[in-house]
Amino acid sequence: MKKSIIVRRIIVSVLFAAVLLATPLLFLIKTPREKKTLKWTSTIEINDRNLSPKSNSIDFKVDKAGEHTLYFSLIPDGYDEDSVGEVKPSDIGFVTTFTVTDASDEIVYSSTQGAIFLDTVIYLKPGNYKVNYYYFADEDEFYDFESTNVVSIKEAQQMAKDINFPSFKENGNTVFNYEFCCLSKEEGLVFPSIMLGWGMLMGLLFGFFIAEFVFFGREGEKKYDERQILEQGKAFKIGFFVMLITVEALIILNISGIAIVADYPVFYQTAIFLGLLTYVVYCIWHESYFAVNEKSTRVSIFFAFIALVNLVIGIINIIHGQLIVDGRITFRILNLLCAVLFIVIFATMLLKRIANSRKSSDDEEEEDE
């Protein structure tokens, strides 16, 4: 084996091992949300349906104008964060109104969903803000506050009716755990971008690793004849134009506003998949994808494995409702698209093998005659 091949394999192996071993360290990195989340505990005293205190507040600051996501949790003592989605107003005993006010005490946002958990996006300008949350023991208190501070009288009446307030039956103290965080749009994308980049790096290194130790011949180099090289050039050309046309079509969709139906990575990755699929299918059908010294069986098995893994992940995403969120297709559909890509490639390999077998049989029959 050539010295250059040995050195290349060592480099690929070391890089792959380094990235693989360093992956668990990602989970030790504090996300922007973890860094900026404020946590505190408060005790509410209940005495004949009177609450003390009736309200609380916490200050926060916004440095840059733009969309910000507000996370607010009010969790009764004994509940953990994972179970907060199952907590109902009847479990708490009263409802909380959540408001955000600016430095002039003007309400910029309000919600009655702050009783349990709030995750909302609002536009904020730079400045100092205050989160206010108010406790109500019955619908009369709630109606008075809503009609005075937040909504119209008609809306307040309907809201108080819809909530169907429970009343306090026992005096005593109730402990609540609070969490609040305000993240800008950019801060919210930091950690997902890191994870996505890391995943792509892992995928590339894994591909290089497989190519070096599984797909290459004994000498570590693929050997193609002149005809195969010419066919590969044609495949590159066709694949390039397919990807170019797809990208141009996506630009038109973006300008027309149709592209908002899905996350942008979905469209760009689709263009890459189509260009790649065109190249691979053309090469397979013209017997120029596999080298002279390369066995196609193990490659076919590996492609089938990749298709199966992505198909399973895609089905899991569908079950958990992560494929379409708020009427928008998310990047998680890429696993299904990847599965389709490799299924088509695998099917092309099988069809080509069947076609070659039939051709060989026909040739043998002609020789016999």
What proportion of the chain, given as a percentage, has pLDDT over 70? 70
Specify the number of domains making up the chain: 2
280 falls within a domain = yes
Judge if 229 and 166 occupy the same domain.
Answer: no
Residue 214 has pLDDT above 80, yes or no: no
Structural domain of residue 38, as residue ranges?
30-186
* Straight-line distance from the first to the last Cα atom of the chain, in angstroms, rounded to the nearest whole number: 47
CB 108 within 8 A of CB 129: yes
> Is the pLDDT higher at 9 or at 290?
290
Q: Which of 86-100, 118-132, 200-214 has the lowest mean pLDDT?
A: 86-100
Share of the chain above pLDDT 90, in %: 9
What is the rounded CA–CA span in Å between residue 106 and residue 17?
Answer: 55
Segment 75-100 shows an average pLDDT of 58
pLDDT tens digits, residue range 282-326? Answer: 999 998 888 777 777 777 887 888 888 888 888 888 887 777 776
Indicate whether 141 and 251 sit together in one domain: no
pLDDT of residue 90: 46
At residue 136, the pLDDT reads 73
Do 361 and 236 belong together in one domain? yes
What's the pLDDT at 317?
Answer: 80
Residues 164 and 270 in one domain: no
The pTM for the full model equals 0.52
Within a domain: 154: yes
* pLDDT exceeds cutoff 90 at 110: no
Regarding predicted confidence, which is higher, 322 or 60?
Answer: 60
Taking residues 77-92, report their average pLDDT. Answer: 51
